[in-house]
Structures are given as C-alpha cells and as structure tokens.
Amino acid sequence: MEYSDGDLDDIETTEIHGIPATFKRKSANITTKLNGVRLTYKNGANCNSTSNTKATFSVNMYCDPDADADYFDVSPGVLGNICEPYVDTVTK
C-alpha cells in the first residue's frame, strides 16, 4: 500500500509527548513520558474500496535526555493498523 503520493508536501511534522512503545523500554517496563517529533507521510492510497480515507505512515522520534549518547531503541515491529501504521524510536 502506498502511504504517500510522493509530493514533498506529503510530510507533516508534529511535536509529540508520550510513552514510546519501544523494545527496550517495554522490556524494562519504563513508562516515562518523553517529548519528540512525529513525521507523518500522508496522502497515500485509499485504505479500502469503500472508504475515501487515505493511508498514512508515521515515524515517532522521542528524545530521552537521560540516555547514553549511543542509545537507540525502536518498536519491536510496526504499530498501529493497516491504514495508520507507525514506529516509535528513542535516542538521546
């Protein structure tokens, strides 16, 4: 499924604040809210034949000021649903 029609205007940037669902954080049961930025690719294909809802794909990039300089964490897979999938990442 296409999650963007390829135009540069299809990328939307939003400030976020939430609990990342990343592998290391979930394994350690860390529920600290972090600030970050979401990049959403929009204007993709129709989600299904009966809907005019366009598919999107988001990358949520959270910042953990207490992490080591080389720390990187990512969700264990794609989260969300077929029409609005996303991945979470955490770095310093």
Is position 16 within any domain?
A: yes
Cα–Cα dist 16/69, whole Å: 21
Residue 20, domain extent: 8-91
Is position 3 within any domain?
A: no
Is position 31 within any domain?
A: yes
Cα–Cα dist 42/82, whole Å: 13
The pLDDT assigned to 10 comes to 86
The pLDDT assigned to 44 comes to 86
Mean pLDDT along residues 17-32: 96
Structural domain count of the chain: 1
Is position 51 within any domain?
A: yes
Strand ranges (DSSP E) for the chain? 11-18, 34-41, 57-63, 72-74, 86-91
Is position 1 within any domain?
A: no
Is position 2 within any domain?
A: no
Closest CA to 73 of 85, 84, 82, 60: 60
The pLDDT assigned to 53 comes to 85
